[in-house]
Amino acid sequence: MNEHRPDMIELSAYFDGELDPARQRSVAAHLAACPACAAQFDLLRMLAADFERLPAETLGFDLAGVIEGRLAAAPRPQPRHDRGWRGLLPVSVGAAASVACGIAMGFALFGGAAAAPRVALMSVFDTMPPGSLCIGLESCYTNGAKR
Amino acid sequence: MECMISRTDDAEAELVVRAQAGDHRAFALLVGRYQDPVFRFVLRMCGIRDEAMDLTQDTFLKAYRALPAWRPEARFRTWLFQIAHNATLDVLRRRQRVEFVPFAEDAPEGAILEATDPAPTPEQALADRQRIVLLERALRELPAEQREVLLLREVEDMSYAEIAATLGIGEGTVKSRLARARVAALAHYRGHAGENRDE
């Protein structure tokens, strides 16, 4: 009898009906003949019965209604698909537009409009101040008066 | 019976597919079906009612967001409890109340057999109510990994395969962990009954 004595792991699995059919039968036969193992088995039964008597805890309100309300406001979850190269199309178009825009701006800054600031800069070294007013020699005004 | 379960599973899978397509009503039906089992599980795991209510709601919102990843091969209940289990463990870890007691999964069989007394115990004489109090106390004191495996088997009536899928462990581990959890719960009974006698 002892050579087939089930350990607690087997007894527990037997109680749950999780042993293979042959072992399930041999444990049943052992329990019928072994009071010690039968007592152990009774403890497992008692424990399971006590679990059944535990108070049935409930949430106490309709969570479904709450969740439904929240979901109505939330965006729908999108399945993740592998979109391949088409998925990258908007990104590449955007990148190309950014580069083109950058080139155009650079051209505008350092191309046609670049001359004007240079002239303004050079005028600092001119003998004539802006507005053609000479703050220097008197002859300047004399020359103008002759004319 | 098996046929009935299969029909239930099919009907449930249909609800999940509808929910995946954006049918909020279908998802609400699934919530209505599982709100109490999920709440019961997380409450027994974390022990605080308000926290369990938040965790239950969080579980369903996470499930909704993860719906596109659900595949018909997975049973919805298992998948949902997996989410609930992970969310609960996160909370327990944050609270640093989770106690992973290291023990060998392959401990000698004798050690387990010694833990219970084959002789009739004083618990048998205790009234039902007293035993329930002891069981609740035992559940609170068990390590989280033993508590969860007991709850999934004894309360939710899950098969070893379902428990294994829910907890992400092997069926062999479920088998041995469950036996140890039962032994530990019974040892708590005996220990606390002894305390009560001494009082």
Q: Are residues B89 and B117 in the same domain?
A: no
Domain boundaries, chain A: 2-53
Taking CB atoms and an 8 Å limit, are B116 and A43 in contact across chains? yes
Question: Same structural domain for residues B82 and B48?
Answer: yes
CB B41 within 8 Å of CB B78: no
The verdict on a CB contact (< 8 Å) between B186 and A65 is no
Number of C-beta neighbours around residue B185 at 10 A:
23
pLDDT on residue A134: 54
ipTM for the complex shown: 0.77
Could you tell me if B108 lies within 8 Å of chain A, comparing CB atoms?
Answer: no
Domain assignment present for residue B39? The answer is: yes
Residue B72 is assigned to a structural domain of this protein? yes
Q: What is the pLDDT of residues A98-144, one digit of tens each?
A: 888 788 887 777 665 444 444 444 445 555 555 555 555 555 555 54
Q: Taking residues A83-106, what's their average pLDDT? A: 69
Residue A33 vs residue A124, higher pLDDT: A33
Q: CA nearest B172: which of A5, A19, A32, A140?
A: A19
- Domain final residue pick, B95, B124, B152: B95
Give the best residue of B18, B25, B64 to mutate against chain A (max A CB count within 10 A). Answer: B64
In whole angstroms, give the CA distance from residue B94 to residue B48.
Answer: 14
Distance from CA of A65 to the nearest CA of B (A): 7
Q: Are residues B31 and B77 in the same domain?
A: yes
Q: What is the mean pLDDT of residues A29-33?
A: 94
Measured between CB atoms, which of B56, B183, B185 is closest to A59? Answer: B56
- Domain identity same for B119 and B150: yes
Domain presence at residue B56: yes
- Of A64 and A14, the structure prediction assigns the larger pLDDT to A14
Q: Work out the minimum CA distance from A106 to partner chain B, whole angstroms.
A: 46
Query: What is the full per-residue pLDDT of chain B (199 aa) written as tens digits?
Result: 444 456 567 788 899 999 999 888 999 999 999 999 999 999 999 999 999 999 999 999 999 999 988 888 888 999 999 999 999 999 988 876 545 544 444 443 444 434 444 444 545 545 677 888 889 999 999 999 999 999 999 999 999 999 999 999 999 999 999 999 999 999 987 776 665 544 4
- Which of residues B95, B118, B145 is at a domain's end? B95
Q: Which of B24, B53, B153 sits opposite A71 (nearest CB)?
A: B24
pLDDT of res. A33 = 94
What is the C-alpha separation between B159 and B171, in angstroms, rounded?
Answer: 10
Whether residues B88 and B160 share a domain: the answer is: no
Residue at which a domain ends, from B63, B95, B127:
B95
Tally of domains in chain B = 2
Q: How many residues does chain B have?
A: 199
**Cβ of B112 and A59 within 8 Å?**
no
pLDDT tens figures, B99-154: 554 444 444 344 443 444 444 454 554 567 788 888 999 999 999 999 999 999 99
> Does some domain include residue B153?
yes
Spatial contact of A35 and B173, defined as CB atoms under 8 Å apart = no
* Measured distance CA(A146)–CA(B1) in Å, rounded: 125
Cα separation, A40 vs A11, whole angstroms: 8
B103 inside domain: no
Q: Residue B30's domain is classified under what CATH number?
A: 1.10.1740.10
- Domain contains B28: yes
| pLDDT at B191 (0 to 100) | 75
The answer to whether position B30 is within a domain reads: yes
Q: Which pLDDT score, from 0 to 100, does residue B52 have? A: 95
B89 plus B16 within the same structural domain: yes
| Together in a domain, B113 and B90 | no
The reported pLDDT for the residue numbered B110 is 40
Residue of B31, B120, B159 lying closest to A63 (CB–CB): B31
Show Cβ contacts of residue B107 under 8 Å, excluding neighbours closer than 6 positions: B180
The tokens for B23 are: 């049918």
In this complex, do A9 and B116 lie within 8 Å of one another by their Cβ atoms? no
Mutate to test the interface with B, among A12, A14, A42 (most CBs of B within 10 A): A12
Evaluate whether residue B101 is within a structural domain: no
Per-position DSSP letters for B53-116, written without gaps between them: HHHHHHHHHHHHHHGGG--TTS-HHHHHHHHHHHHHHHHHHHHT--------TT--HHHHHHHS
Same domain, B81 and B156: no
For residue B77, give its domain range: 2-95
Spatial neighbors of B152 by CB under 8 A, at least 6 apart, are B41, B81, B158, B162, B163, B166, B167
B195 touches chain A (CB under 8 A): no
